[in-house]
Amino acid sequence: MNTNMLQTPITYLKGVGPNRAETLQSELGIATYQDLINLFPNRYIDRTQYYKITHLQRSNADVQVIGKIIHIKTVEQKRGKRLVATFIDETGDMELVWFRGQKWIRENLKLNTPYVVFGRCNWYNGKFSMPHPDMELLADHEKGLKIAMQPVYPSTEKLSNKGITNRVINKMMQQLFLESNGQFSETLSDKILFELQLLSKSESLFNIHFPKNQELLAKAQFRLKFEELFYIQLQLISKKLLRKQKIKGFNFNQVGELFNTFYRDHLPFELTNAQKRVIKEIRADLGSNAQMNRLLQGDVGSGKTIVALMIMLLAIDNGFQACLMAPTEILAQQHYNGIKELLESTGVTCELLTGSVKKSARTPIHEQLENGELHILIGTHAVLEDKVQFKNLGLAIVDEQHRFGVAQRSKLWHKNEVPPHILVMTATPIPRTLAMSLYGDLDISVIDELPPGRKPIKTVHRYDSNRLKVFRFIKDEIKKERQIYVVYPLIQESEALDYKDLMDGYESIVRDFPLPDYQISIVHGKMKPADKDYEMERFVKGETNIMIATTVIEVGVNVPNASVMIIESAERFGLSQLHQLRGRVGRGADQSYCILMTSHKLSSEAKTRLETMVRTNDGFEIAEVDLKLRGPGDLMGTQQSGILNLKIADIVKDNDILKTARHYAIQTLKNDPNLEQPNNLIVRHTYNQLVKHKNIWTYIS
């Protein structure tokens, strides 16, 4: 079937018509032949076997039996009647039973004629009975498309109510195959088909809908999953290559005085091998004449900020300015304090611009940016304001980028005629699987080791009944002059409840940790920003021993002396949140602890989350578990990912197929960037069709 025919509206398929077409469109989004052929079954019922009546088992499985009806009767029961037919084969007899539609069934059943019946058997009064069986005359059964394994299609309540049952969809599918003679245009090149030994497109579609056996079904699934992922990767990678050709970047070919002096004289500690590797990857981008667009992933505390600073110095060595944008004032302030301290005797100028910087202080910042005196600007969204103009911005670094909207990021790109190099940093580990799909058009660097001297955080799970022991442990830590976080969950829908939990917790802690021996800070969403900052400040300076907070402290509070993180009602947090919170401790040289407090009532998913936290500190491993538990849409926020539109592939389960698809997409574009070679014309045509009919999802990244 050619591609144009596949765009035929579904109304025109025999057996559909306008009413059914409307229901199919509203319930399953099926508007064309193409949409119907891409409605893949959820599961299959195996109809390869025929059972003899004596061999039936009292199991819950669907079975099919060949035999004939020798007698029909109506049996009165408490409510209404039932129709019972005696069904026999050469080995024995069983009953077929109907509770509804009896008149029609009775009129249409043929006695002493071979039937194939299919359904689930019950054992009743010493005999097998099959309620509401699927029935087909043996003669028709042998003539029909030989469907050994029967597909079960996605359905909804409305579809069933309107009589569009699995059987009806099956009939529609058979009709579509009849109209097209089962011939569908190939979409992959001969080279790929040959190297991966794939079934053709026509064979794959036939065997996904009407599989002859398990083996052919598996081959069809592999082929169609590969194809779907291949075209998504092809789009992401071609976007990346196009950007590298089209968008010329500044060439930072100079590794100058500032970078070298800082590296030699001012680095507070030796860089880890991972940091060195990442700096090397970024330097290669910056010297390549193309605009850099790189994602830097590194777990909490892995030293991303120092990498960011080294790269900013590289920009300044080449005569450019740099800026670093963070999502919150606390985080921007922290970056600023850290970087300012490191730059103390280097002569590099650095300023902070956030919403709370007074107007009088802003004017000189604006002026120095425009005349080039200011080298580095660190700030929040305030950096994006139109008033903020650079003399020559060469590098823009965005921290925790998923908190910024696309429009905000593009504002940063347009601060210059030539877009600056972009480095996006995140401490939220994105599983490699997802990174390949979501950020396939970004280059990715990973810092996967912690700086030396950092001890891994010890994580334990404790029930509420062990609270007194936990309090004793806290007192011992405070004696050693350490500080403690106690965090309560924040669930938007029940603010009042959260506030109550927090205040109850606060009161019980105040009882056990009385003044003047202990000082306690509290921070929650109902406080004024100034009060929050004051309480945070007291904790940072070490004036208070315990900080009780809702999750507002999730990002970017750096208190090296805080060594214990207690997470209350830990079962109410997601894995990535638990991991982020844990990263608030373990920032000094002391052994740090994370204590997960829960009630005894735990769902199996909550147990998996807690066990994962206790078992590992590796953010990537945690992200993989999170992805398996929550699915890709939840993980990235559904709005941000087109992943849920996948027709057959599953990003998590089909990880290996994704890697293969990505490899082939890279090879194809490497050897033939414009897909012009005869072998790739099929790929080019399919790709253009997909883009034209919006069947490939443009990921936002």
How do residues 262-316 score in pLDDT, each as one tens digit? 999 888 888 999 999 999 999 999 988 888 889 898 877 788 889 999 999 999 9
Q: Would you say residue 560 has pLDDT above 60?
A: yes
More confident residue, 245 or 376: 376
Q: What mean pLDDT comes out for the span 585-614? A: 91
Identify the helix (H) or strand (E) that includes residue 466.
Answer: none
The reported pLDDT for the residue numbered 699 is 34
What CATH number has the domain bearing residue 563?
3.40.50.300
Domain boundaries, position 126: 48-146
User: Smallest Cα–Cα separation from 402: which of 675, 700, 664?
Assistant: 700
**According to the model, what pLDDT value does residue 631 have?**
63
pLDDT for the residue 395 = 95
58 and 133 inside one domain: yes
Whether residue 35 lies inside any domain: the answer is no
* Residues 556 and 536 sit within 8 Å (Cβ to Cβ): no
Note the pLDDT of residue 147: 60
Residue 262 token pair: 């800082």
Same domain, 232 and 275: no
Per-residue burial over 518-531, b = 16 or more CB atoms within 10 Å of its CB, e = otherwise? bebbbbbeeeeeee
**Would residue 199 count as lying in a domain?**
no
In a domain? residue 20 = no
237 and 316 assigned to the same domain: no
Are both 610 and 688 inside the same structural domain? Answer: no
Q: Tell me: pLDDT of 505 over 90.
A: no
- Is residue 364, in this structure, part of any structural domain at all? yes
Cβ neighbours, 10 Å, residue 567 = 25
Residue reference for tokens 């050994």: 148
Condensed to tens digits (0 to 9), the pLDDT of residues 530-558 reads 888 888 889 989 999 999 988 655 445 67
- Contact partners, residue 311, CB within 8 Å, separation at least 6: 279, 282, 286, 322, 395, 397, 423
Strand ranges for 400-465 from DSSP E: 421-426, 443-447, 458-463
When pLDDT is averaged across residues 465-490 and rounded to a whole number, the result is 93
Shared-domain flag, residues 409 and 519: no
β-pairing, 321-325 vs 376-379, is parallel
End position of a domain, from candidates 110, 128, 146: 146
- 497 and 413 belong to one structural domain: no
Same domain, 491 and 606: yes
Same domain for 331 and 469?
no
Question: Into how many domains does the chain fold?
Answer: 4
Q: Are residues 103 and 79 in the same domain?
A: yes
In a domain, residue 122? The reply is: yes
Predicted local confidence at residue 639, as pLDDT: 34
Tell me, what's the pLDDT at 700?
30
Indicate whether 635 pLDDT > 50: no
Mark residue 490 as left, alpha or beta (left: phi above 0; alpha: psi -120 to 50; beta: remaining): beta
- 242 in the same domain as 94: no
Do 517 and 467 fall within a single domain?
yes
**Residue 492: what pLDDT?**
53
User: In this model, does residue 442 exceed pLDDT 50?
Assistant: yes
User: Residue 116 belongs to what H/E stretch?
Assistant: strand 115-120
Q: Which residue shows structure tokens 């050709």?
A: 245
Cis, peptide link before residue 516, omega less than 30° from 0 = yes
Q: How high is the pLDDT of residue 293? A: 86
- Average pLDDT value over all residues in the chain: 86
The Cα 588–Cα 106 span in angstroms is 82
φ/ψ of residue 527, rounded to 5:
-80, 155
Q: Is residue 519 part of a domain?
A: yes
Whether residue 633 is contained in a domain is answered as no
CATH code, domain with 136? 2.40.50.140
DSSP 419: P
Strand runs labelled E in 481-538: 483-487, 520-523
Contact (Cβ atoms closer than 8 angstroms) between residue 581 and residue 487: yes
The answer to whether residues 612 and 514 belong to one domain is: yes
Whether the predicted pLDDT of 695 surpasses 60: no
From first CA to last CA, the distance across the chain in angstroms is 36
